[in-house]
């Protein structure tokens, strides 16, 4: 994979910048964390070289100063809201996040249940946490939030919330997903810390949009594509431009809420230390791009990936056409079509040439390998065999898995397990190769090539099954599919 981001530089300057921000206040900073602290795969896709756990590693440099507070909305608990990427409910994810943070040496001080109004499911979850000796606090609905500043910044507003007792100078406020109330928790703590004689600070740590890149830079356009379902829009920060006569990029929600935040800061402290929403951020990622061309290309591929993700969801009835229209508009801004993704063109050409569902992968050196479905193999399974043979220097005509082994597997799938598709999936091909590798050197060599596929890009002319998608994800392969379901394919 071509590298466009200096990960080591990022970890060093980002941690130093956060320490500087802490020093601007009374040694106490509440840092609202937007996005993911780990598993940040979007950032690693648009900034090649950025590791999915880069932010976590950066914070580990100052872990002795950090305390983590996890926020969850009572409304999300009540409706069993799930994380789309993990398939687990937000309340279960709170426990997962707590365990993940602690396993990495971080102190998780407490959990805050926001929007609390005595909901039965929230009460049950609170009791569950307390039985596990997890400190749990409740923050309540405030009528008129966030606009009734006089009420909010009073003992009848933030003053009614539980005061979250924290021990360390940097308090990271995170949550399983958006809309959990992280910002409200931070602001409530500022109010209550002030009552306790501590002038605490607030900052926001979001990776995207990148404030010091141009508005229409592909990295920033890719962020809009990633949040097309939320209809986020990147904008020039007008407050920053007025205060400093400098252009900075932010997004609509932060810009729209800034006048309210300004009033809240003035209500708590009598003044606002920040002149713009960009001022509130601490993100240094834009200073660590080492190869702009690489990041631009990666971001354009990410825009296309988001487009196919949306069209696939629409085919399954889980997306609206407005999301797709938004991304198509972003295509125009980035000056691309789906043909920019080389694997898309190659897979379509293979389909046209063979008449069968096809797939294509682009290797690190730019080589394109294709595969198509047959009575024995699905197109993704065929692709894995073809590409591992290519990388291992095995002749393309060599059959790694004999038909005599494939047919009994197909018989079991269709006759014993009730399957309708006899073709082997990617996981079944890999298991077969593993079994054969004990006595077959070619199979062993083919399996040894799998790590080389990490970071490669694949496109398929049909929507793959969940099992195939998971295998590509585990291999670290970027996958896109045409919005065509298998049942529509002859």
* pLDDT one-digit tens code per residue, 383-427: 999 999 999 999 999 999 999 999 998 999 889 988 888 899 999
What the block records as the tokens of 406 is 């494939």
Task: Please determine, for residue 84, whether its predicted confidence score (pLDDT) is greater than 90.
Answer: no
* Least confident interval from 31-40, 103-112, 277-286, 457-466: 31-40
Say if residues 252 and 260 touch (Cβ distance below 8 Å).
no
Q: What does the DSSP assignment read for 59-113?
A: HHTTGGGEEEEEEEEHHHHHTT-B-TTT--BHHHHHHHHHHHHHHTT-EEEEEEE
Instruction: Report the CATH number of the 7-211+249-288 domain.
Output: 3.10.630.10
Residue 488 has a pLDDT of 43
The third-level CATH classification (topology) of the domain covering 341-488 is: Cytidine Deaminase; domain 2 (3.40.140)
CA atoms within 13 A on the CB side of 197: 0
Query: Within 13 Å and on the Cβ side, how many CA atoms surround 392?
Result: 22
% of the chain beyond a pLDDT of 70: 99
Average pLDDT in the 177-201 region? Answer: 93
Res 61: pLDDT: 86
On average, the pLDDT of the chain sits at 93
Confidence of residue 151 (pLDDT cuts 50, 70, 90): very high
Position 455 scores a pLDDT of 87
What phi-psi label fits residue 168: left (phi over 0), alpha (psi between -120 and 50 degrees) or beta?
beta
Give the residue carrying structure tokens 């890999």. Answer: 430
> Could you check whether 7-211+249-288 and 341-488 share the same CATH topology?
no
Could you state, in order of their start, the residue ranges of all structural domains in the chain? 7-211+249-288, 341-488
Report pLDDT for 306.
Answer: 95
pLDDT of 458: 97
Percent of the chain surpassing pLDDT 90: 81
Mean pLDDT of 311-338: 93
Say how many residues make up the chain.
490
**Does residue 319 surpass a pLDDT of 80?**
no
CB atoms within 10 A of CB 142: 19
Residue 489: per-residue pLDDT: 41
Q: What is the pLDDT of residue 90?
A: 96
pLDDT tens sequence across 342-375: 999 999 999 999 999 999 999 999 999 999 999 9
17 Cβ partners below 8 Å, 6+ apart?
282, 284
Q: How far is CA 132 from the centre of its chain?
A: 29
Nearest to 481 by CA among 299, 300, 314: 314
> How many C-beta atoms surround the C-beta of residue 396 within 10 A?
9
**Interval 434-448: pLDDT, tens:** 999 999 999 999 999
Q: pLDDT value at position 284?
A: 96
Burial of 290 (0-12, 13-18, 19+ CB in 10 A): middle
pLDDT tens digits, 289-301? 999 999 999 999 9
pLDDT mean over 306-311:
95
Residue 490 has pLDDT above 60, yes or no: no
Q: The pTM is what?
A: 0.89
> What pLDDT was estimated at residue 487?
60
């Amino acid at each position: 994979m071509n590298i466009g981001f200096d990960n080591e530089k990022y970890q060093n300057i980002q941690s130093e910048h956060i320490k500087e921000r802490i020093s601007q206040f009374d040694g106490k900073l509440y840092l609202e964390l937007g996005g993911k602290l780990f598993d940040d795969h979007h950032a690693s896709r648009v900034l090649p070289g950025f590791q999915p756990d880069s932010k976590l590693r950066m914070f580990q440099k100052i872990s002795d100063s950090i305390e983590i507070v996890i926020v969850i909305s009572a409304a999300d608990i009540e409706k069993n809201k799930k994380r789309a990427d993990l398939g687990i409910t937000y309340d279960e994810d709170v426990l997962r996040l707590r365990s993940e943070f602690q396993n990495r040496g971080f102190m998780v001080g407490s959990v805050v249940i926001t929007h609390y109004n005595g909901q039965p499911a929230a009460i049950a979850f609170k009791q569950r946490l307390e039985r596990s000796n997890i400190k749990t606090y409740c923050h309540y609905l405030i009528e008129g939030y966030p606009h009734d500043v006089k009420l909010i910044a009073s003992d009848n507003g933030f003053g009614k919330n539980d005061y979250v007792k924290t021990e360390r100078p940097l308090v990271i406020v995170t949550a399983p997903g958006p809309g959990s109330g992280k910002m409200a928790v931070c602001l409530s703590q500022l109010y209550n810390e002030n009552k306790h004689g501590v002038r605490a600070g607030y900052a926001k740590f979001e990776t995207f949009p990148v404030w010091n890149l141009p508005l229409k830079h592909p990295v920033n356009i890719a962020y809009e594509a990633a949040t097309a379902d939320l209809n986020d829009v990147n904008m020039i920060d007008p407050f920053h431009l007025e205060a400093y006569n400098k252009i900075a990029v932010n997004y609509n929600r932060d810009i729209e809420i800034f006048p309210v935040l300004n009033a809240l800061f003035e209500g708590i402290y009598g003044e606002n230390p920040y002149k713009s929403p960009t001022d509130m951020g601490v993100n240094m990622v834009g200073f660590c791009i080492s190869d702009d061309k690489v990041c631009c290309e990666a971001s354009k591929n990410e825009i296309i990936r988001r487009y196919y993700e949306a069209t696939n969801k629409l085919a399954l009835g889980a997306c609206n056409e407005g999301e797709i229209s938004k991304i198509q508009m972003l295509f125009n801004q980035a000056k691309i079509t789906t043909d920019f993704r080389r694997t898309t063109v190659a897979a379509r050409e293979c389909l046209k040439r063979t008449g069968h569902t096809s797939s294509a992968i682009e290797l690190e050196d730019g080589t394109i390998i294709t595969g198509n479905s047959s009575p024995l193999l699905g197109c993704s399974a065929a692709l894995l065999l073809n590409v591992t043979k290519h990388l291992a220097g095995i002749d393309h005509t060599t059959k790694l898995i004999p038909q005599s082994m494939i047919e009994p597997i197909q018989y079991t799938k269709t006759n014993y397990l009730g399957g309708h598709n006899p073709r082997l999936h990617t996981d079944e091909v890999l298991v077969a190769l593993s079994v054969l590798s004990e006595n077959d050197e070619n199979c062993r060599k083919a399996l040894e090539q799998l790590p080389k596929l990490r970071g490669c890009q694949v496109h398929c002319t049909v929507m793959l099954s969940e099992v195939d998608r998971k295998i590509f994800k585990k291999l670290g392969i970027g996958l896109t599919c045409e919005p065509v379901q298998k049942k529509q394919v002859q």
